[in-house]
């Protein structure tokens, strides 16, 4: 028995060593697998996607037809449109999620300042039930245990800012072991208890005549593995909210702060009229302002991953957005660079007027840009442990120079614009997949060590030599990404699903294990 135990431990130690060596010597690579076009160019025909492992179907929000398209992915190399679920009578679909045979669609009303809804269907597309939500339900997700639906109600104002509903989170607890949706409970987690609290000044509350609750605009939700806590991106506010799901209470607001584009490794190309690719350091602070967020666990700790897209409030009734050339800059800024506001330097860069004049002399002291053109990893309490800095720009410039910042025409405005994001595990390694809305394509990072994340791959299927509207121009503007694990895949191999808003295409990318090349 003693020798058997020793042999057992030796064999397991050897297996662990082999697996560890394999993990260290291999990585992954993306390759195009298939594509299906769901509508016209630049009509929002493919926006948010979800995948059902049971039926092997994808569900894709089609803004052009105000429907959810159902695709068969039984053969991922040949996606097939089976049918479409029209939600036009309910409003405009914004998001879709699927779990245990239920398809949930977040639908905005008209006008979008009115309460919206979540409409439930089965995976065949048959209507089941409707739940009311707050204003402008922009994202819906199931908790990992499948017991609840969470909805981010953005609560955007109307264009003249005369109506500004409060942002909120709708929490729908589904009845267990019953098909009676009338037994479900619906609660709302709002922000009114923050109206009289003193907030961290880094949380941007600045809407026209808005209370805190009106100003906070939930964008995207990620949920902890135990289904107890959710984190919500408040994009325009440059913050995250923390939700106690059981108590239906927002417990904290976490400011994200800014990134200095003046420091090494954080440079940007700030002009679309500087003659090409010019990644430099500038006296600019980037506001993270994430769109999509996701979460994962390492050694029992939860980390939040953010795609730092950036977004400005720009309405007829109020706009914070301007260009540096239109500002009166302070002596502090001009002393270092008298030509700073030239169009080939910072003049074309879109920035915020909010908090730009710090001493009240009607001259701009601080330049705040929208987004950081990067992705970040944060602790559950909002401490940043990693940021990719200028790496998206550096890699794009090297591998796809013609597509850099959408042919350089977005350099003045959020650059590559990282928006879509998902996390998946391949060979016991956690990877982040980040979609670049303007440049196109998907960046891949190994995030198994949150403080030491590293670039792995970048695939861009756009054809830079064709106009965007050409049918063979490729996949343009990834709005969402779904990771399908090997366990859930029809082929036993993992892959990605991307929904591309401008091209109106759904593209599938194979995830292949490859040997790691030594640096």
Predicted confidence pLDDT, tens digits, the chain (519 residues): 444 433 333 334 333 333 444 445 589 999 999 999 999 999 999 999 999 999 999 999 999 999 999 999 999 999 999 999 999 999 999 999 999 999 999 999 999 999 999 999 999 999 999 999 999 999 999 999 999 999 999 999 999 999 999 999 999 999 875 567 988 999 999 999 999 999 999 999 999 999 999 999 999 999 999 999 999 999 999 999 999 999 999 999 999 999 999 999 999 999 999 999 999 999 999 999 999 999 999 999 999 999 999 999 999 999 999 999 999 999 999 998 999 999 999 999 999 999 999 999 999 999 999 999 999 999 999 999 999 999 999 999 999 999 999 999 999 999 999 999 999 999 999 999 999 999 999 999 999 999 999 999 999 999 999 999 999 999 999 999 999 999 999 999 999 999 999 999 999 999 999 987 654
Q: Are 350 and 226 in contact (CB under 8 A)?
A: no
Q: Are 470 and 409 in contact (CB under 8 A)?
A: no
Residue 515 has a pLDDT of: 86
Q: How many CB atoms lie within 10 A of CB 11?
A: 10
Residue 6 has a pLDDT of: 38
Residue 170 has a pLDDT of: 98
How much helix, strand and coil, in percent to the nearest 5, is found in the chain? 10, 40, 50
Rg over CA atoms, the chain: 23
Residue 197 has a pLDDT of: 96
Q: Are 396 and 428 in contact (CB under 8 A)?
A: no
Residue 180 has a pLDDT of: 77
Residue 175 has a pLDDT of: 84
Q: Write the secondary structure of 452-489 as one string of H (helix), E (strand) and C (coil).
A: HCEEEEEECCCCCCCCCCCCCCCCCCEEEEEEECCCCC
Give the chain's count of helices (H) and strands (E).
4, 33
Q: Are 494 and 33 in contact (CB under 8 A)?
A: no
Pair of tokens at residue 138: 């922009």
Burial of 509 (0-12, 13-18, 19+ CB in 10 A): buried
CA separation for the pair 504, 35 (Å, rounded): 10
Residue 18 has a pLDDT of: 36
Residue 3 has a pLDDT of: 42
Residue 517 has a pLDDT of: 63
CA separation for the pair 261, 276 (Å, rounded): 19
Q: What's the sign of the alpha-carbon dihedral 341, 387, 240, 446?
A: positive
CA separation for the pair 131, 118 (Å, rounded): 5
Cα distances (Å, whole numbers) of residue 37 to 215, 307, 325, 499: 37, 26, 41, 10
**Strand boundaries in 91-126, DSSP class E:** 92-99, 102-108, 115-122
Pair of tokens at residue 250: 């927002």
Ramachandran area for residue 246 (φ above 0: left; ψ -120 to 50: alpha; else beta): alpha
Long-range contacts of 488-491 (CB under 8 A, 24+ apart): 488/51, 488/53, 489/76, 490/56, 490/73, 490/74, 490/75, 490/76, 491/76
Smallest Cα–Cα separation from 150: which of 265, 232, 212? 232
Quote the pTM value.
Answer: 0.94
**Strand boundaries in 102-261, DSSP class E:** 102-108, 115-122, 127-135, 137-142, 148-153, 168-173, 185-189, 218-223, 229-234, 239-244, 249-255, 258-260
Task: Determine which helix (DSSP H) or strand (DSSP E) holds 392, and give its type and residue range.
Answer: helix 391-399
Q: Are 73 and 490 in contact (CB under 8 A)?
A: yes
CA separation for the pair 509, 32 (Å, rounded): 5
Residue 518 has a pLDDT of: 53
Strands 285-287 and 368-370: parallel
Q: What CATH architecture is 27-515?
A: 7 Propeller (2.130)
Strands 301-307 and 293-298: antiparallel
Alpha-carbon torsion, ordered 191, 192, 193, 194, to 10 deg: 70
CA separation for the pair 403, 418 (Å, rounded): 14
Pair of tokens at residue 96: 């879709």
């Amino acid at each position: 028995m003693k020798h058997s135990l020793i042999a057992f431990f030796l064999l397991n130690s050897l297996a662990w060593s082999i697996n560890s060596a394999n993990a260290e010597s291999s990585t992954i690579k993306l390759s195009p697998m298939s594509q299906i076009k769901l509508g016209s160019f630049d009509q929002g025909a493919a926006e948010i996607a979800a995948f059902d492992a049971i039926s092997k179907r994808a569900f894709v929000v089609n803004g052009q037809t105000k429907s959810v398209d159902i695709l068969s992915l039984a053969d991922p190399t040949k996606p097939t449109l089976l049918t479409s679920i029209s939600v036009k009578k309910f409003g405009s679909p914004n998001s879709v999620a699927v779990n245990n045979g239920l398809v949930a669609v977040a639908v905005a009303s008209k006008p979008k300042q009115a309460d919206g809804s979540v409409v439930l269907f089965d995976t065949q597309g048959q209507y089941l039930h409707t739940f009311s939500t707050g204003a402008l339900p922009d994202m819906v997700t199931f908790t990992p245990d499948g017991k609840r639906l969470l909805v981010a109600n953005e609560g955007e104002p109307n264009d003249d800012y005369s109506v500004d509903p409060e942002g909120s989170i709708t929490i729908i607890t589904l009845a267990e072991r019953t098909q009676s949706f009338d037994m479900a409970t619906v609660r709302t987690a709002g922000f009114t208890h923050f109206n009289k609290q003193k907030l961290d000044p880094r949380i941007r509350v600045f809407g026209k005549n808005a209370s805190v609750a009106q100003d906070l605009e939930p964008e995207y939700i990620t949920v902890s593995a135990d289904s107890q806590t959710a984190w919500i991106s408040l994009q325009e506010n440059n913050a995250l909210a923390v939700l106690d799901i059981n108590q239906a209470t927002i417990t904290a607001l976490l400011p994200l702060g800014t990134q200095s584009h003046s420091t090494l490794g954080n440079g940007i190309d700030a002009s679309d009229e500087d003659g090409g690719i010019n990644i430099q350091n500038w006296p600019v602070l980037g506001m993270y302002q994430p769109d999509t967020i996701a979460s994962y666990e390492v050694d029992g700790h939860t980390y939040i991953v953010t795609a730092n897209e950036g977004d400005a409030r720009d309405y007829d009734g109020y706009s914070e957005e301007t260009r540096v050339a239109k500002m009166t800059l302070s002596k502090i800024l001009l002393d270092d660079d008298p030509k700073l506001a030239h169009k080939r330097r910072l003049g074309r860069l879109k920035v915020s007027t909010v908090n730009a004049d710090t001493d009240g002399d009607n001259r701009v002291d601080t330049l705040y840009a929208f987004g950081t053109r990067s992705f970040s990893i944060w602790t559950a309490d909002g401490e940043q442990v990693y940021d990719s800095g200028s790496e998206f720009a550096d890699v794009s410039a090297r591998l796809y120079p013609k597509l850099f910042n959408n042919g350089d025409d977005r350099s003045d405005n959020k650059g590559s614009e990282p928006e879509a994001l998902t996390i998946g595990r391949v060979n016991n390694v956690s990877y982040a997949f980040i979609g670049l809305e303007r440049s196109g394509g998907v960046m891949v990072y190994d995030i198994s060590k949150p403080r030491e994340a590293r670039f792995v791959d970048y695939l861009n299927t756009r054809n830079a030599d064709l106009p965007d509207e050409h049918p063979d121009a490729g996949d343009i503007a990834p709005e969402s990404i779904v990771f399908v694990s090997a366990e859930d895949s029809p082929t036993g191999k993992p892959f990605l699903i991307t929904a591309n808003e401008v091209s109106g295409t759904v593209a599938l990318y194979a995830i292949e294990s490859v040997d790691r090349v030594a640096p």
